[in-house]
Structure 1
Amino acid sequence: MDATLPNRPAVKYKDLREYLDLLESKRLLHRITASVDPHLEIGAIAARSLERKGPALWFENVKGYEGMPFVTNIISTTQQLGATFDTEPNEEAIHERVVDGMDRRIPSVTLPTGPCKEVVIGAADVDIDLIPTPLWHEHDGGRYLGTTAGIVTRDPVTGFLNMGAYRVMIKDKKTLSLSGGLRGRNASSGPGGGDHVLENEARNQPTPVAIVMGMDPLLTLANGSPVRPSDDGSMEYEAAGGWRGAPTELVKCETSDLLVPAHAEMVIEGIIPPHARTEEGPHGESTGFYGENKMAFVVEITCITHRRNPVTYGLICQRVEDYPRQLLRSGSLQSRIIQKTGFTNIRQVYFPEVGRHGMLIVSAKIRDKEDPRRIMNGIWEDSGERWRWIIVVDEDCNVRDWDEVMWRVVSAADPDHDVFPGKIHNAPKRNRGEVDFDPPRRGMGIDATMRFKDAKFPPVNKVSEPIMAKVVARWKEYGLP
């Protein structure tokens, strides 16, 4: 890991509050002063605003929680993400920053204390209803804290920390359910928090957990990304540091040895007792369906620390949500696929929002006629992921431009020679009690490349990358938006 990243100044904010100020200064945030109900109304407002590619939303007057602000939709647009990563507001620049920061992580630093400990609430006084928590979807089984929260646990085998985005539902004022983080020790992104719980259970030991609310957006993005594990224990904190251009500052929890972001708005500390289970859900998911778990883990809250006048941040989970999966996970995925398959000629890996975990678009410098098929097979067999549909295009294709990708499919893919049945994956492993959508087990591969094919293609009518790079560098000089 690099302690500093050359030629990269740190981003222009230190925490969620400063980031919201930055968005407001750029007119990318809207304050709603009207009274809003956390029961379904906030969720519906967030959903409609996302569909309209609206601004970040700051609710000043949440019914039942007067004076306690709630924010959502803060990393949902390219303009917002340009502010998040301190780049130009375009997907290419953001993608480059994601990949670079993931590859050049910065070690975190531990402080004696931090803003997240301005108020400390002991176990006897815990009441999780102290902050506004919406009922997001009409068929949800309860109110969910865990839509942007980071769930921090420690690996009982390696001792390394892990942070992941899992479902966390309120059961009562001192008890939560937790569902997720069950990937297996050999998963490409390493074991998750749920795996840590099961391994502790095998020893009849409880699992300390910290639920971190209101993190800065880079930590929120790292939290939801499949950060590949490293030998030195670097994880989501260090990836966020790589993007930030400065170390993530951490503090030790009050009731465990877990380390949490010092500038978070709130930290909920707890214990997951071994072998305890509870019903969780349903909850609307990004698959476009509802999911639930009849045997979710139980979290007993032991302590809450928070900043004075905490700002609560949450999102509505749906197919399009306040999280740029297509950018963040494509960036982390690209490095992992190249590492796993050995195909260093891959230039970009992207999965479109519409495909979620089922489709990949891969651009590569094609070396011979069989190369596209080898790339598909390598991803299906060696990547450790359940990708079903794969489209391979030449390196000059913009993989984030769906129109261009489809133009290449219809122009260059012969169904008799360039379309192949995909790998038949095993049925998804469901842990006892989980009820979730299971997609079809097989997709297909499409070779939409033009080099080395029997058909002869004229030159592609497209501005070349070197010329376009010169124009992009002078874009502001032209006075264009």
Structure 2
Amino acid sequence: MHKPERVPTPPNVQLTGPYDSMRDYVNALEATGRLLRIKAMDQDRYEATGFAYRLVDKFGFNDAPAFLVEKMKVDGQWMTGPILANIYGPWDTEAMGYGVEHVTTDRREMYRAAVDKLVGLADRNGHWQPIAPVRVEDGNAPCKEVRIEGSDVDILKYPWLKCNPADGGRYINSGAVIFQDPELGRNMGTYRCQVKSATRIAMNPEVGQHGHIFLMAAKGRGERSIKAAVVLGTDPITWAMSCSKVSHLGQDEYEMAGAFRGKPVELVKCETSDILVPAHAEMVIEGEIPLTDTEEEGPHAEMYGYLGRKREANFYMDIQAITHRREPWFFNNHTGVLRGFHTAAMDAWATLAYKQSIRSLVAIHTLGEAPGICVASINKRFAGDGLAAGQQISASNIMAKVTIIVDQDVDVLNPAQWLHAVGSRWQPDPATLIIPHARATFLEPSAVHPRVVSKIIIDATKQFPAEGGPANWPAVSRELLEASCPEVFELVDEKWPEYWQDWGSSEFASPRS
């Protein structure tokens, strides 16, 4: 393994967002010591993949740093990058991406600050005000600095990785796929794209996903093909909109990105179609998807950390043009290993949506490191509130196979706290509800029948006597300490560096880093 190194802070770096480009954001990561720069890695030996796993082993899923590899060995060739990974992994980068002021190294607080900011942008009905994108001239657009068409197209010369030995091949796994439809409007979604040849990539929009709906709509009208664009390296917020379900069918992801950015996304027209793409992207791959022909695609390691299925018949796109920045930067999403995008918008959306039906809701979080687990805190007032809240969440959150409800004094972002609540406050009988048959995501590895699972709701709130709980709960020791000695943690935080001065390591120099 090559030793990561720090580089001097680049001049004129914008330290907090919203950013207009992925490149501006990555420069900020590096300027603030949040990016490891590595000279070279041999991906033919799966070095980058192994490094990604080891980062999570050493630092944890939400604390593993971003890294940049200057050149990578791919299919026997050394290819120049940079190739980026885990740039959306550490929780404090959410605050940077969404423009929170006074970003600190307290990662849970920074993630919470990002969620709170986005919740605060909504109107009184819990809706965000869309900001329409704007079309700009393409003459100076960064994504148009290099234009390649016709026989010069060769997608193989770029450093797309085969991340796992069982994958069907090299994959473009960080592309925002853009469709435009005369009836449905515009859609941007993220679907795995397998590199099949110099001029062809296979694509996997699953049944029910918006991209698949757009393709079927065109096919239903008798169209034989549909134009598409795969955009690489957009700004962090636009990328998050591509990866999440914040926008519903028929709602423009560019407009939602504008709502969170506080300004429009700038777009330019593709070379071979009328599709509009982000002007500040790193690369745009343009092409045409036949609707009357398919070919095999996959398998590919998926978000649960298990190998996704091989598709015998899937869509593919014949590439007609590629435009990109000079010396483009490439982001590889190590799917199922690292966090692939900023998720604060999803938690903000869930908070606002569920508060419509769960008035007592305080906070909600779906775990990235353990897909299938959702934790929510409530201000419990009546017997039955916990299970009722859990039923609301479980019924509409297709990912929530395990829904855990805790009291408002428990931090849903802190596994130590909500696991402690499960261990100390939960009584499996009667504070549990099992749902034998429920909808599941198509990626669910434990499903015996496709898209069908059982679910469990755990009410880990303090049970009232009417629910079978004790008449009087014992006092919480930490709360007693804080009540009796309210200055104790301020004292300890103030003296923290002093405690460690003879330790010989700066790792623990900050009490909450």
TM-score range relative to shorter protein? 0.7 to 0.9
Among residues 145, 156, 160, which one is paired with 1:129 in the alignment?
A: 156
Identify which range, 171-180 or 211-220, moves more after superposition: 211-220
Map 1:90-109 onto structure 2 (within 5 A).
90-100=110-120, 103-104=127-128, 105-109=130-134
- Change in CA separation of 1:409 and 1:46 when aligned onto 2, cut-off 3 Å: closer
1:388·1:443 contact (CA, 8 Å) conserved in 2? yes
**1:177 and 2:191 correspond:** no
2:413 corresponds, among 395, 400, 414, to: 400
Query: How much is the aligned-residue C-alpha RMSD, in angstroms?
Result: 3.0
1-structure distance, mates of 2:167, 2:397: 32
Native 8 Å contact 1:280 1:295 kept in 2: yes
Give the conservation status (yes or no) of the 8 Å contact 1:117–1:306: yes
Q: Secondary structure at the match of 1:52?
A: helix
**Structure 1 residues 219 and 181, CA gap change in structure 2 (3 angstroms):** farther
Distance 1:384 1:71, change over 3 A: closer
Q: How does 1:55-70 map to 2 (within 5 A)?
A: 55-63=65-73, 64-70=77-83
- CA distance in 2 between counterparts of 1:91 and 1:123 reads 45
Tell me if 1:365 matches 2:379.
yes
Q: Which residue of 1 aligns with 2:456?
A: 444
Distance 1:31 1:387 in 2: 36
For structure 1, the 5+ residue unaligned runs are 1-8, 184-190
Q: Which residue of 2 aligns with 1:350?
A: 365
* Partner AA of 1:29 in structure 2: L
1:204 and 2:222 are equivalent in the alignment: yes
Note if contact 2:295-2:313 (Cα within 8 Å) is conserved in structure 1. Answer: yes
- Contact 1:16 1:264 survives alignment (8 Å): yes
The partner residue of 1:294 within 295, 312, 334 is 312
SS at match of 2:359: coil
Give me the whole-angstrom Cα distance separating, in 1, the residues matched to 2:183 and 2:475: 55
1:374 counterpart residue number: 388
| Amino acid paired to 1:387 | A
The alpha-carbon deviation at position 66 of structure 1 amounts to 4.6
Q: Do the aligned partners of 1:225 and 1:332 also contact (CA within 8 Å) in 2?
A: no
From 261, 280, 288, the counterpart of 2:297: 280
Q: 1:319-355 CA deviation, whole Å, 9 max, x = no partner?
A: x31326765533333333345xx22321211122343
**Secondary structure in structure 1 of the residue aligned to 2:171:** coil
SS in 2 for 1:51: helix
Where 1:444 maps in the other structure, the secondary structure is strand
The residue that corresponds to 1:186 in the other structure is none
Distance in 2 between the 1:234 and 1:10 partners?
28
- Runs of 4+ aligned residues of structure 1 deviating over 4 Å after TM superposition are 100-103, 324-328, 478-481
Rg bigger for which structure? 2
Which one-letter code corresponds to 2:137 in the other structure? P
**Shift in alpha-carbon separation, 1:221–1:32, aligned structure 2, 3 A:** same
Within 1, Cα distance between the matches of 2:329 and 2:420? 46
1:202 to 1:164, Cα distance in 2 relative to 1, 3 A: same
- Give the CA deviation at 1:308: 1.2
After superposition, the Cα gap between the structure-2 partners of 1:238 and 1:326, relative to the gap in structure 1 and judged at 3 Å, is closer
* Larger relative contact order (Cα-Cα within 8 Å, sequence gap ≥ 6): 1
**Inter-CA distance 33–73: structure 2 relative to 1 (3 Å threshold):** same
In 2 relative to 1, CA 427–162 (structure 1 residues): closer, same or farther, beyond 3 Å?
closer
Q: Offset of 1:101 from its aligned partner? A: 5.5
Q: How does 1:66-81 map to 2 (within 5 A)?
A: 66-81=79-94
User: Does the 8 Å CA contact 1:349/1:361 hold for their aligned counterparts?
Assistant: yes
SS of aligned partner of 1:59: strand
Question: What letter matches 2:145 in structure 1?
Answer: E
Distance 1:324 1:120, change over 3 A: closer
Q: Report the CA distance between 1:136 and its aligned residue.
A: 0.6
Q: Deviation digits for residues 292-322 of structure 1, max 9, x if unmatched?
A: 222211111121111111111112112x313
Q: Does the aligned pair in 2 maintain the 1:39–1:136 contact within 8 Å?
A: no
Q: Displacement of 1:127 after TM fit?
A: 0.7
Are residues 287 and 35 of structure 1, via their aligned partners in 2, closer, same or farther at CA, if it must alter by over 3 Å? closer
Task: Name the counterpart of 1:217.
Answer: 236
Structure 2: how far apart are the matches of 1:416 and 1:363? 20
Whole-angstrom distance in 1 between the partners of 2:254 and 2:440: 33
1:378, distance to aligned residue in structure 2 (A): 2.3
- Quick one: distance in 1 between partners of 2:132 and 2:414? 35
Quote the offset at 1:275 in angstroms: 2.4
Match status 1:150 vs 2:176: yes
Q: Percent identity?
A: 29
1:418 alignment partner in structure 2: 431
Q: May I ask how many residue pairs the two structures share in their alignment?
A: 445
Displacement of 1:237 after TM fit?
Answer: 2.4
Aligned-partner Cα distance in 1 for 2:459–2:254: 38
Shift of 1:172: 0.6
Contact in 2 for aligned 1:346/1:362 (Cα 8 Å)? yes
Q: Distance in 2 between the 1:400 and 1:331 partners?
A: 13
Show the counterpart of 2:246: 227
Pick closer, same or farther for the CA change 1:51–1:207 going to 2, 3 Å.
farther
My pick for the range that moved more, 21-30 or 237-246, is 237-246
Contact 2:403 2:457 (C-alpha < 8 Å) held by counterparts? yes
TM-score (norm 2): 0.79
Residue 438 of structure 1, CA deviation: 4.4
Pair 1:195 & 2:213 matched: yes
| Gapped regions of structure 2 (runs ≥ 5) | 1-14, 498-508
CA shift for structure 1 position 12: 6.2
- Structure 1 residue aligned with 2:4: none
- Aligned partners of 2:112 and 2:377: how far apart in 1? 14
TM-score scaled to structure 1, two decimals?
0.83
